[in-house]
Amino acid sequence: MMVEEEIAQIGIVIDNTIKTRALFEINKGTNKNTAIDVNSNIEAEDRRIPFQSMIYIVDGPNDVPCFSMVKSKGGKACGVYSPASTNEFTQNDRLMQEGRIDHYGAAEYSKMKIQVIG
């Protein structure tokens, strides 16, 4: 059974200049506890969401710094591409061949589905 839902509000908009900071906020828990500063030195075992538990969805070149960091810390990176774009497919295939992403697949944004290859 498919449930039709629509977005009621936007919680936060993140541009490519603050994506890495947002990952550390999630990792350390500053997004849930404002008493924790994002620049605080917190031992890995005390962090709220370990990077190894993260999956970063890559949809373009501006995500390279973030998915590289997540992968280097044990997380996964999955690329998505528009099925109508040969260039996007080729870019994702190249990133996977280089070991920079773990999986990739065609994005179906209208139904919020991603089919993963690899």
Does 71 map to a domain?
Answer: yes
pTM of the shown model: 0.71
State pLDDT tens for residues 33-90: 888 888 888 888 889 999 999 999 988 878 888 998 999 999 999 999 999 999 999 9
Answer yes or no: is 12 within a domain. no
The total domain count for the chain is 1
Tell me, rounded to whole angstroms, the distance of Cα 88 from its chain centroid: 17
- Domain range spanning residue 37? 19-114
- 33 part of a folded domain: yes
- Is 23 contained in some domain? yes
Q: What is the predicted pLDDT for the residue at 90? A: 95
Does residue 37 lie in a domain region? Answer: yes
55 lies in a domain? Answer: yes
